[in-house]
């Protein structure tokens, strides 16, 4: 059983690549696919670059050329709900494309010809990710020093199961995030890839899962320390959660 693991940025997956026992490295379509064993389990790791097109093509490649049996997306997201803080983990339930709008031909957010406004993650794997994320937070100091957590103002991080919205926009003001919340009230965070990969997995009938570490509040400060957060925090979160998750697969 091969697990495909995607992040959008190199910084988000760097700590995982460093632990991988690499068996081969293949470059296709400007992406590098790392094939190997992670904590004894066969995986293919890749960073897709940002956005829906980049991540959808990468997911398609993973399914068709690397024959992965499931896909897990991991990376950062911006919070658009008051209950969600920087350092929290969101385990995705339904994935929406907040910039999809072919109305009045079809409903707002509906992906034409699929008749769907959202894509559901795999229920059993979502439960595994919830448990894996909770166990990770219980022993977070094995992966991240107290000083580093304090530097990023991460005090008591929690795990939340929630819907996620994706779009080809970095959300950096309240007007943008309010508009998404109004249209999609169950969504607690925004990013730029998850729903595109979820759509590909739906079309190929492959289980899809996603975890996002909250890096910002999708406001004017959203860009501050963004690559640093991805590298020093999110990448370690991904490693710790995947270690637990792969032991369940």
Nearer to ligand ADE, 222 or 241 (CB): 222
Tell me which residue has its CB nearest to ligand ADE.
78
Among 5, 43, 76, 187, binds ligand ADE (CB under 6 A): 76
Strand partners, 79: 189
Q: Distance between CA 178 and CA 185 in Å, rounded?
A: 10
Task: Using the minimum distance from each CB to ligand ADE, give the nearer residue, 110 or 216.
Answer: 216
Does the footprint of ligand ADE cover residue 77 (CB under 6 A)? yes
Of positions 54, 171, 210, 234, contacts ligand ADE by CB under 6 A: 171
Query: Which residues in the 206-225 window bind ligand ADE by CB under 6 A?
Result: 215-216, 218, 222
**CA-CA-CA-CA torsion sign (147, 135, 216, 82):** negative
Q: Does 170 bind ligand ADE (CB under 6 A)?
A: yes
Task: List the structure tokens of 41.
Answer: 């389990």
Binding to ligand ADE, residues 126-165 (CB under 6 A): none
**Rounded to 5 degrees, what are φ and ψ at 191?**
-155, -165
Cα separation, 96 vs 94, whole angstroms: 7
**Residue 205 — φ and ψ, nearest 5°?**
55, 50
Phi, psi of 16 (to 5 degrees): -75, -40
Which of 110, 128, 191, 232 is close enough to bind ligand ADE by CB under 6 A? Answer: 191
Name the site residues for ligand ADE (rule: CB under 6 A): 76-78, 170-172, 190-192, 215-216, 218, 222
């Amino acid at each position: 059983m091969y697990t495909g693991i995607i992040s959008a940025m190199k910084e988000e997956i760097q700590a995982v690549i460093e632990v991988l026992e690499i068996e081969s490295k293949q470059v296709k379509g400007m992406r590098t696919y790392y094939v190997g064993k992670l904590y004894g389990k066969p995986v293919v790791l890749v960073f897709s670059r940002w956005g829906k097109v980049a991540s959808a093509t990468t997911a398609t490649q993973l399914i068709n050329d690397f024959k992965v049996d499931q896909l897990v997306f991991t990376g950062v997201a911006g919070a658009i709900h008051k209950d969600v803080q920087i350092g929290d983990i969101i385990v995705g339930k339904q994935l929406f494309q907040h910039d999809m709008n072919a109305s009045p031909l079809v409903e707002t957010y509906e992906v034409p010809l699929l008749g769907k406004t959202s894509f559901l993650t795999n229920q059993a794997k979502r439960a595994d990710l919830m448990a894996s994320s909770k166990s990770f937070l219980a022993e977070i100091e094995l992966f991240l020093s107290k000083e580093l957590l304090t530097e990023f103002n991460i005090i008591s991080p929690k795990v939340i199961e929630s819907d996620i919205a994706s779009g080809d926009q970095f959300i950096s003001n309240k007007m943008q995030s309010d508009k998404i919340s109004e249209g999609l009230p169950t969504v607690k965070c925004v990013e730029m890839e998850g729903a595109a990969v979820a759509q590909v997995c739906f079309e190929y009938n492959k289980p899809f899962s996603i975890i996002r570490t909250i890096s910002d509040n999708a406001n004017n400060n959203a860009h501050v320390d963004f690559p640093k957060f991805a590298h020093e925090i999110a990448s370690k979160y991904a490693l710790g959660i995947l270690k637990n998750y792969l032991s369940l697969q």
